[in-house]
């Protein structure tokens, strides 16, 4: 069924089709319409899901940790300050190896107060042990929610599905919504690894001494390392059933370009148009979309970039004192490689300022014009 829906509605469809049993959430713009849509369906009796009202995002995640431990498939959505408020519980969810799926609609963190798109919220949670998947369009949003449950339940790690504020969350596009029967074939019911049995009570996530803690962390890393393989299998199956796939990264444009432009989220859509236009003009440019941020797809990225002369990274985020986080991750992943193309790290679009085709073109032109960047951070569209 094809329908024109917003990104947030696409999330809601994904949740319904995934037969989520427990939802707990606290409202925050621009996420709110996701749980609004779901809670209305629940209130009207059309969706048989338990909705737990809570007084904060911290409690929302805590409630899901309980429900997930109890064996339920669970969901929440948040943004910005809400995500930051959950921070402690994000560690707990991954440490307890719970396959929780959460949607985060990227929004800047104040002050100054701002409700527009900016990746600083989700990226500042990069060390919490969550898988992070960034989406480019509304179809991908729906498909990624469905895949997220498969991956999460396979490797016993929580997954954060990320989409841009307003550009996706509140913008309508045509989305092909699969039927419940089709999704049931792809995503079976959740079967917890350690079911709770009241006849044989046990305590979960109990204290461990230095004798054991270390090993539990090692196991989380090992699970993360399984993700590329697992995600590929999940996506292969998804493609065979629904005819669509995304990959951890996506390389587009001509081979062996002078400049390879790396983006994430909706900036990729704009970049596709810019690159197409420049290639027609005779430029040697190509694009690289990064969908999976955690675990970072170092191998896939290296394969995609080693023939490029220069790399452009546009970061819609800022780790003050260092620069763009995608650029930083990329530098780290390239350090041990023999081929290390020159990297131009641009910061742009913070707090929802538009990253226009002109700005992207400016970044590419700068890179072509310079042998090396004039600084670790290049500011794109900054008013000086």
Partner 1 sequence: MPIVSISLGDMEWNKTGSWRVQRPFYEEKTPPCSAACPGGNDIASFIQKITQGDFEGAWRLIKEENPFPGICGRVCFHPCETKCNRGHFDEPIAIHALERFVGDLAATLSKKMERLPGKKKEKIAIVGSGPAGMSCAYHLAKLRYDVTVFESLAFAGGILRMGIPAYRLPKDVLDREISQIEALGVEVRRGVSIGQDLKVEDLKDYQAIFIATGAHRSRALHIPGERGRGVFSGLDLLKKINLKERVELGERVAIIGGGNTAMDVARSAIRLGKKPFILYRRSKEEMPAFEEEIVEAIEEGVEIRYLVNPIRMKSDDGSKRLECLRMELAEKDESGRRRPVPVPNSNFFTEADSVVIAAGEEIETSFLPRGIKERDGIVLTQRDGMTGVERIFAGGDLTSNQRTVAHAIGSGKKAAMAIDCYLKGKDSEEAIRQVLIGEGPSISIFRYLHPGERPRNPHIVTFEELNMDYFETSKRQRESKSPLRARIKRFGEVTSTLTESAALEEAERCFNCGTCNECENCYVFCPDASILKVGEMLSHQVDYDFCKGCGICFKECPRGAISLEEEAR
Chain residues in the site for partner 1 (CB under 8 A): 95-97, 156, 193-194, 201-208, 212, 215-216, 219, 223
State whether the Cα torsion 149-154-160-163 is positive or negative. Answer: negative
State how far Cα 369 lies from the chain centre: 33
Helices 138-155 and 7-17, interaxial angle, to 10°? 40
State whether the Cα torsion 83-105-267-339 is positive or negative. Answer: positive
The H or E element containing residue 378 is: strand 378-380
If the CB atoms of residues 193 and 370 are measured against partner 1, the closer one turns out to be 193
Nearest approach, Cβ of residue 383 and partner 1 (Å): 50
Nearest approach, Cβ of residue 96 and partner 1 (Å): 6
Nearest approach, Cβ of residue 232 and partner 1 (Å): 22
If the CB atoms of residues 98 and 327 are measured against partner 1, the closer one turns out to be 98
Q: Is 381 left (phi over 0), alpha (psi -120 to 50) or beta?
A: left
Helices 213-242 and 80-95, interaxial angle, to 10°? 110
Q: Strand runs (DSSP E) across 94-186, as ranges? A: 101-106, 131-134, 159-164, 172-176
Nearest approach, Cβ of residue 330 and partner 1 (Å): 30
Residue 91 CB neighbours (<10 A):
15
If the CB atoms of residues 204 and 379 are measured against partner 1, the closer one turns out to be 204
Nearest approach, Cβ of residue 224 and partner 1 (Å): 12
Distance CA 375, CA 321 (A): 13
State whether the Cα torsion 63-227-270-242 is positive or negative. Answer: negative
> Are 5 and 13 a contacting pair, CB within 8 Å?
yes
Nearest approach, Cβ of residue 208 and partner 1 (Å): 5
Return the biggest CA–CA distance within the chain: 71
Q: Per the structure block, which two tokens stand in for 348?
A: 């742009």
Nearest approach, Cβ of residue 86 and partner 1 (Å): 20
If the CB atoms of residues 218 and 379 are measured against partner 1, the closer one turns out to be 218
If the CB atoms of residues 18 and 68 are measured against partner 1, the closer one turns out to be 68
Q: Per the structure block, which two tokens stand in for 381?
A: 């569209």
If the CB atoms of residues 135 and 155 are measured against partner 1, the closer one turns out to be 155
Strand 159-164 relative to strand 101-106: parallel, antiparallel, unpaired?
parallel
Q: How far is CA 185 from CA 137, 193, 234, 241, in A?
A: 24, 21, 12, 9
Nearest approach, Cβ of residue 205 and partner 1 (Å): 6
Nearest approach, Cβ of residue 210 and partner 1 (Å): 13
Nearest approach, Cβ of residue 217 and partner 1 (Å): 11
State how far Cα 83 lies from the chain centre: 13
Residue position matching structure tokens 């191998």: 299
If the CB atoms of residues 207 and 320 are measured against partner 1, the closer one turns out to be 207
If the CB atoms of residues 219 and 277 are measured against partner 1, the closer one turns out to be 219
Strand 172-176 relative to strand 159-164: parallel, antiparallel, unpaired?
unpaired
If the CB atoms of residues 197 and 255 are measured against partner 1, the closer one turns out to be 197
If the CB atoms of residues 195 and 282 are measured against partner 1, the closer one turns out to be 195
> Are 121 and 30 a contacting pair, CB within 8 Å?
no
């Amino acid at each position: 069924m094809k329908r024109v829906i917003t990104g947030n509605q696409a999330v809601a469809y994904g949740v319904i089709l995934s037969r989520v049993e427990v939802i707990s959430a606290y409202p925050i713009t621009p996420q709110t319409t996701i749980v609004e849509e779901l809670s209305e369906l629940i209130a009207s009796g059309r969706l048989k899901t338990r909705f737990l009202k809570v007084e904060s995002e911290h409690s929302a995640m805590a409630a899901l940790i309980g429900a997930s431990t109890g064996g339920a498939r669970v969901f929440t959505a948040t943004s910005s300050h809400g995500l930051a408020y959950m921070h402690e519980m994000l560690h707990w969810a991954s440490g307890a190896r719970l396959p929780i799926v959460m949607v985060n609609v990227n929004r800047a963190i104040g002050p100054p107060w701002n409700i527009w798109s900016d990746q600083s919220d989700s990226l500042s949670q990069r060390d919490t042990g969550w898988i992070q998947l960034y989406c480019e369009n509304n179809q991908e949003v729906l498909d990624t929610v469905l895949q997220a449950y498969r991956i999460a339940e396979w490797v016993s790690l929580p997954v954060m599905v990320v989409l841009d504020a307003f550009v996706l969350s509140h913008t309508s596009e045509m989305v092909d919504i699969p039927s419940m029967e089709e999704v049931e074939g792809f995503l079976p019911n959740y079967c917890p690894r350690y079911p709770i049995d009241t006849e044989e009570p046990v305590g979960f996530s109990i204290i461990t001494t230095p004798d054991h803690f270390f090993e539990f962390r090692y196991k989380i890393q090992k699970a993360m390392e399984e993700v590329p393989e697992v995600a590929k299998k999940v996506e292969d199956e998804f493609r065979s059933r629904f005819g669509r796939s995304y990959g951890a990264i996506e390389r587009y444009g001509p081979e062996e370009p002078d400049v390879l432009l790396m983006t994430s989220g909706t900036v990729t859509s704009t970049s596709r148009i810019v690159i197409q236009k420049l290639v027609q003009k005779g430029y040697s440019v190509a694009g690289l979309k990064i969908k999976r941020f955690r675990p970072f797809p170092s191998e896939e990225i290296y394969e995609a970039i080693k023939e490029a002369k220069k790399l452009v990274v546009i970061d819609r985020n800022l780790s003050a004192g260092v620069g763009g986080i995608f650029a930083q991750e990329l530098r780290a992943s390239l350090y041990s490689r023999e081929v290390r193309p020159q990297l131009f790290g641009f910061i742009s679009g913070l707090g929802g300022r538009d990253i226009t085709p002109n700005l992207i073109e400016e970044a590419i032109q700068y890179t072509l014009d310079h042998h090396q960047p004039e600084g670790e951070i290049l500011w794109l569209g900054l008013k000086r």
